C-alpha cells in the first residue's frame, strides 16, 4: 500500500473494501475556517431544514449504508440497520434538544431592563470518531454542532474510514455547504495534527480512555477551546435475588457480547450472589453455546460478528490468558474458530480468587465474574474501578435497586435492563475515566454552543447616587 493511501478491509473476509488518499489537516481546517461564519449567519430554520434533508438522504440510501457498515465493522446486518436508523433519528432529537437546552429566552429583570439569553457557535470543531459505531457516534457530535452553526472537520477511525466518508457524502448531498463538513482521511498522525491544530475551536472525541486522557493533558493549557470526551467503561452488571435466571442470563449476554463486546457500555464484569453463581453460570453457558457467530450477511443472522481486526483479536486472546495466569478460573474458554480471521467466541473467567485485578477496558467479548456474599460487597466491587459509565442491576427487589442507584458511581444506571442500548433522547456520559463531565447524546447541544447573556435597554439612562462631590 502506498504511504499516502489508506485502505479499509472487511474484518470477516479480509477483502479490500475501500481506499483513499490520506488527507491534510491544515487544508481541511482552512476550508472549514473560511466557511463557518456564513453557515452560522444563516437562520436557525435554514440549518434545521438542511439537516432534515440530510436525514432524508440517509433514509434514501439506507440499504447501501447498512451494507457498508456491516462489511466494514463486521457487525450483523440487523445491527448495522439499527445504526442507520439512529443516524436518521438524531436530527429531530437534536432540534428538540437545541431548543430546550440552548434556545433563546428572556430572563426576569428590573424595570426598564431586559435580560436575554442566546447561544453562539464556537467556530470550527474537530470530531474524532471510533470504529465500533462509525456512523452513529460521530454523527451524535456532528449534527448538533452543525445545527448550532459550527463547521466540522471529521476524522473517522482509520479502521472504518469508508463509513465516515459515506456519512459526509450524505451531508453534502443534502446541501450542507461542503466547506462546513470536511472529511480528513488518515491514521494517528492525521488525528494528532487535527487535535493540536491552532485553528480549531474545540474537539469532540469518542474513543479510549488512554487517548482521552492524553487529549485532556494537551488541552489543559488551552482553556479557550472546548473539549468533550466520551470514553469507555469497565462496566458492572450485578445479579442478585432474582428467580428468573434465564432472563438474567439473556441480560448478561446482551450486555457483555452485543457488537462482539465492542461497546463502551458493554458489561465487562458480572457480580453475582454466591448462592446464584452455579445455576446462573449453567444458564449462561447454555445460552453462549447457542450464539451464532458469523459474517454480517450470513443466514440465519448471527448474534455477533468478528472483532475489528486480527491485531485486536490477538490482543484479546492474550488478555484472556493473562487473566488466567493472574489466578482467574476460566468458565468458558475464548476460541478463535476461523484461522487468520478475527472471530472470537465469548470468554468467561471467574476472577473471585485472583491474586490481582486489572481495571482496564477489555474491548471485546470477555466477561469477568466476581462472586459476593453480601449486596454491600457487590456494590463495593462494582465501584472498584476508575471508570464510571454504565451499571445495571438484575433483581426483583425495588429496595435493592434504590440502594444500588444511590451508591453506584455511573452516569447510566439500569434496572433489569442491559448495561448498553442507551437512548439518544437522554444524556449519555459517565464519571471518572469515562468522560470529562460533558455528556453527549441529548446534552450534546451544551458543548456545541456557548451561552451569551445580555442586559439590554433601548435607551441609555444612567445616574450615579453615591461617591460624587456636589456639583
Continuous segment of H or E residues that includes residue 210:
helix 209-219
Q: At what angle do helices 44-60 and 136-148 cross, to 10 degrees?
A: 150
Query: Would you call 48 helix, strand, or coil by DSSP?
Result: helix
Which of the 8 DSSP states describes residue 374? S
Q: Is 71 exposed, middle or buried (0-12, 13-18, 19+ CB in 10 A)?
A: buried
The grid cell for 396 is 426483583
The grid cell for 449 is 454552543
Query: Would you call 348 helix, strand, or coil by DSSP?
Result: strand
Count of all residues that appear for the chain in the document: 471
Could you give the count of Cα atoms lying within 13 Å of 83 in the half-sphere of its Cβ?
A: 28
- Give the C-alpha separation, 337 to 343, whole Å: 7
Q: At what angle do helices 77-102 and 136-148 cross, to 10 degrees?
A: 30
The grid cell for 134 is 462509525
- Give the C-alpha separation, 262 to 170, whole Å: 26
CA dihedral sign of residues 62, 64, 67, 68: negative
Calculate the alpha carbon distances from 468 to 45, 352, 471 in Å: 50, 76, 8
Q: Which of 158, 264, 295, 361 is catalytic?
A: 264
Residue 335 annotated as catalytic: no
Which of the 8 DSSP states describes residue 133? S
Residue ranges in 330-454 assigned as alpha helix (H): 375-382, 398-407, 445-448
- Give the C-alpha separation, 242 to 396, whole Å: 5
Q: Which of 83, 158, 230, 283 is catalytic?
A: 230
Strand partners, 407: none
> Left if phi > 0, otherwise alpha if psi is -120 to 50, otherwise beta: which for 353?
alpha
Residue 264 annotated as catalytic: yes
Active site residues: 230, 264
Amino acid at each position: 500500500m502506498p504511504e499516502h493511501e489508506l485502505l479499509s478491509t472487511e474484518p470477516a473476509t479480509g477483502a479490500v473494501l475501500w481506499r483513499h488518499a490520506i488527507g491534510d489537516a491544515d487544508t481541511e481546517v482552512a476550508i472549514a475556517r473560511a466557511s463557518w461564519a456564513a453557515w452560522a449567519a444563516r437562520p436557525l430554520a435554514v440549518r434545521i431544514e438542511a439537516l432534515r434533508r440530510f436525514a432524508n438522504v440517509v433514509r434514501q440510501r439506507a440499504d447501501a449504508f447498512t451494507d457498508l457498515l456491516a462489511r466494514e465493522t463486521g457487525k450483523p446486518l440487523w445491527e448495522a440497520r439499527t445504526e442507520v436508523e439512529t443516524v436518521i433519528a438524531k436530527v429531530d432529537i437534536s432540534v428538540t434538544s437545541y431548543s430546550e437546552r440552548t434556545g433563546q429566552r428572556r430572563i426576569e429583570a428590573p424595570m426598564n431592563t431586559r435580560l436575554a439569553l442566546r447561544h453562539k457557535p464556537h467556530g470550527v470543531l474537530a470530531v474524532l470518531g471510533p470504529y465500533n459505531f462509525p456512523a452513529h457516534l460521530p454523527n451524535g457530535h456532528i449534527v448538533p454542532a452543525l445545527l448550532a452553526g459550527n463547521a466540522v472537520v471529521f476524522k473517522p477511525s482509520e479502521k472504518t474510514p469508508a463509513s465516515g466518508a459515506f456519512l459526509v457524502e450524505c451531508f453534502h448531498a443534502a446541501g450542507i455547504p461542503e466547506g462546513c463538513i470536511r472529511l480528513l482521511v488518515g491514521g494517528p498522525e492525521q488525528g494528532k495534527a487535527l487535535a493540536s491544530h491552532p485553528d480549531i475551536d474545540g474537539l469532540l472525541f469518542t474513543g479510549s480512555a488512554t487517548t482521552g486522557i492524553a487529549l485532556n493533558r494537551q488541552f489543559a493549557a488551552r482553556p479557550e477551546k472546548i473539549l468533550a470526551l466520551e470514553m469507555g467503561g469497565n462496566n458492572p452488571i450485578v445479579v442478585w435475588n432474582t428467580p428468573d435466571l434465564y432472563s438474567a442470563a439473556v441480560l448478561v449476554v446482551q450486555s457483555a457480547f452485543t457488537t462482539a463486546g465492542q461497546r463502551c457500555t458493554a458489561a465487562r464484569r458480572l457480580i453475582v450472589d454466591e448462592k446464584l453463581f452455579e445455576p446462573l453460570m449453567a444458564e449462561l453457558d447454555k445460552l453462549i453455546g447457542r450464539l451464532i457467530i458469523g459474517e454480517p450477511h450470513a443466514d440465519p443472522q448471527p448474534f455477533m460478528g468478528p472483532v475489528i481486526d486480527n491485531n485486536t483479536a490477538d490482543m484479546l486472546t492474550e488478555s484472556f490468558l493473562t487473566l488466567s495466569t493472574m489466578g482467574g478460573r476460566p468458565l468458558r474458554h475464548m476460541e478463535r474458530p476461523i484461522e487468520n480471521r478475527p472471530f472470537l467466541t465469548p470468554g468467561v473467567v471467574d476472577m473471585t480468587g485472583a491474586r490481582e485485578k486489572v481495571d482496564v477496558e477489555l474491548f471485546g467479548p470477555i466477561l469477568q465474574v466476581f462472586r459476593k456474599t453480601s449486596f454491600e460487597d457487590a456494590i463495593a466491587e462494582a465501584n472498584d474501578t476508575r471508570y464510571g459509565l454504565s451499571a445495571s442491576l438484575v433483581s426483583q427487589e425495588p429496595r435493592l435497586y434504590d440502594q444500588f442507584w444511590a451508591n453506584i458511581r455511573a452516569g447510566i444506571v439500569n434496572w433489569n435492563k442491559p448495561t448498553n442500548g442507551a437512548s439518544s433522547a437522554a444524556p449519555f456520559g459517565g464519571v471518572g475515566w469515562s468522560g470529562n463531565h460533558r455528556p453527549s447524546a441529548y446534552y450534546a447541544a451544551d458543548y456545541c454552543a456557548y451561552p451569551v447573556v445580555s442586559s439590554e435597554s433601548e435607551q441609555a439612562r444612567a445616574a450615579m447616587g453615591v461617591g460624587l462631590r456636589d456639583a
